[in-house]
């Protein structure tokens, strides 16, 4: 019987693991992809209190080492179900409720408490060709794939911090970077926007959406549609970096945790879901601010609440 199973080894999940281990209990994180979650792809973090500047990768590795050196385990497998079980007279579970956690590899684990820290996945445009051209010009990660576009013209779609930082990063490699955004105001921080405006090889394509992806074996151009005039323009690019935000992936947990209309897990101040013993932390929960700092903060709150629940 594991004390606390944490679903996800991003900043929220690993922060929770650190706090669980520091209370003397044992944490096992399940991660379907890579430790660090989305932040691993961020080239630069400059807004985490106490750390002036670091990369997403360095930050993630630091979290991972801190958690595992304290005794937390990370298992690379995807959790697909959490079911409450009545422990009855079972001594290992303390006679109370415990949780059966199943994974894609067909394994089952038991835990006294569970923390859902699944983060969010990249939102797709939903265009024809998008899946087919992913990895052939279409990408959701500029830091991972930017270097493949050395000397080429590329576009970034989105107006948040990710899009602005991606565009800045891509100017290091690419001949020209178009920023295609559906409005003329940006969700990203003013500092990022100012930095983008200083670059000669960035062109803004505003009030516009990507209407079509052209290319058969690889991306050759994007067709953008001006939202005000309806006019369409074809822009030849070899790369399109889609940075239009994230969406949660919590459907598997709907039987044990209420989800809001966007699919985020609803919880109270202590990160408790509707099921005693099941907590939620980080970007996957209903909240106003989704930042690294708030993910780490949730991890600490959920872990301490879970440890207090176990007793």
- Smallest gap, in angstroms, from Cβ of residue 247 to ligand NAP? 9
Nearer to ligand NAP, 22 or 227 (CB): 227
> Does 209 contact ligand NAP by CB under 6 A?
yes
Q: Which of 12, 243, 256, 280 binds ligand NAP (CB under 6 A)?
A: 243
Three-state DSSP state, 125: coil
Q: Which of 15, 41, 42, 60 binds ligand NAP (CB under 6 A)?
A: 42
Residues assigned a catalytic role: 141, 144-145
Count the helices and strands in the chain (H runs, E runs).
7, 17
Nearer to ligand NAP, 159 or 239 (CB): 159
227 belongs to the binding site for ligand NAP (CB under 6 A): no
Supply the DSSP symbol for 135.
T
Cα–Cα distance for residue pair 247/56, rounded to 1 Å: 20
Residue 37 and residue 47 in contact, taking contact as beta carbons nearer than 8 Å: no
Binder among 29, 45, 177, 271 for ligand NAP (CB under 6 A): 45
Selected from 55, 275, 286, 291, the binder of ligand NAP by CB under 6 A is 291
Number of residues that bind ligand NAP (CB under 6 A): 21
C-alpha closest to that of 5 among 26, 36, 22, 24:
26
Cα-only R_g, the chain: 21
| Cross-strand partners of 13 | none
Q: What is the DSSP letter of 259?
A: B
Provide the strand spans (E) within the chain: 2-7, 27-31, 73-76, 79-86, 97-103, 108-116, 121-122, 138-139, 153-157, 176-180, 202-205, 208-214, 221-226, 232-236, 239-242, 246-247, 278-280
Q: Indicate whether 290 belongs to the interface with ligand NAP (CB under 6 A).
A: yes
Phi, psi dihedral angles at 197 (to 5 degrees): -65, -20
- Left (φ > 0), alpha (ψ -120 to 50) or beta: where does 263 sit? left
Distance of CA 120 to the CA centre of its chain: 4
- Choose one: 10-18, 76-84, 195-203, 244-252; the region binding ligand NAP (CB under 6 A): 244-252
Q: Output the smallest distance, CB 249 to ligand NAP, in A.
A: 15
Q: Which window, 73-81, 130-138, 180-188, 265-273, contacts ligand NAP (CB under 6 A)?
A: 180-188
CA dihedral over 300, 303, 305, 311, signed as positive or negative: negative
- Over the range 96-111, which residues count as b (16 or more CB within 10 Å of their CB) and which as e? bbbbebbbeeeeebbb
Which range binds ligand NAP by CB under 6 A, 10-18, 64-72, 218-226, 243-251?
Answer: 243-251
Q: Which is nearer to ligand NAP, 118 or 246 (CB)?
A: 246
Residue nearest to ligand NAP (CB): 160
Q: Which residue among 10, 158, 277, 299 contacts ligand NAP (CB under 6 A)? A: 158
From 39-47, 70-78, 88-96, 141-149, give the range in contact with ligand NAP by CB under 6 A.
39-47
Contacts of ligand NAP in 116-135 (CB under 6 A) = 123
Binding mask 59-88 for ligand NAP (x = CB under 6 A): ------------------------------
Sole binder of ligand NAP in the list 2, 79, 113, 163 (CB under 6 A):
163
Residues near ligand NAP (CB under 6 A):
42, 45, 47, 123, 158-163, 165, 182-183, 187, 209, 243-246, 290-291
């Amino acid at each position: 019987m594991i004390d606390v199973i944490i679903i996800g080894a991003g900043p929220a999940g690993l922060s929770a693991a650190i706090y669980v281990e520091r209370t003397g209990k044992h944490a096992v994180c399940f991660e379907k992809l890579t430790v660090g979650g989305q932040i691993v792809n961020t080239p630069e973090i400059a807004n985490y209190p106490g750390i002036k500047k670091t990369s997403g990768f360095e930050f993630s590795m630091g979290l991972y080492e801190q958690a595992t050196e304290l005794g937390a385990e990370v298992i690379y497998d995807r959790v697909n179900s959490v079911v409450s079980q009545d422990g009855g007279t079972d001594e290992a579970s303390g006679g109370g409720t415990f949780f059966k956690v199943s994974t894609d590899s067909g394994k089952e684990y038991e835990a006294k408490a569970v923390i859902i820290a699944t983060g969010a996945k990249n939102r797709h445009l939903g265009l024809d060709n998008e899946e087919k051209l992913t990895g052939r010009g279409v990408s959701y990660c500029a830091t991972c794939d930017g270097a493949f576009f050395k000397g080429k013209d590329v576009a970034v779609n989105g107006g948040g911090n990710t899009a602005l930082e991606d565009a800045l990063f891509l100017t290091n490699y690419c001949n020209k970077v178009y920023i295609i955004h559906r409005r003329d105001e940006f969700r990203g921080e003013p500092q990022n926007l100012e930095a983008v405006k200083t670059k000669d090889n960035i062109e803004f394509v505003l009030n516009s959406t990507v209407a079509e992806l052209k290319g058969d074996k690889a991306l050759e151009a994007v067709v953008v549609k001006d939202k005000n005039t309806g006019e369409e323009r074809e822009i030849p690019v070899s790369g399109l970096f889609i940075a239009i935000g994230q969406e949660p992936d919590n459907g598997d947990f709907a039987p044990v945790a209420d989800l809001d209309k966007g699919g985020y897990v609803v919880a109270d101040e202590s990160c408790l879901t509707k099921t005693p013993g099941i907590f939620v932390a980080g970007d996957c929960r209903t909240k106003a601010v989704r930042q690294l700092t708030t993910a780490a903060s949730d991890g600490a709150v959920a872990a301490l609440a879970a440890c207090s629940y176990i007793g």
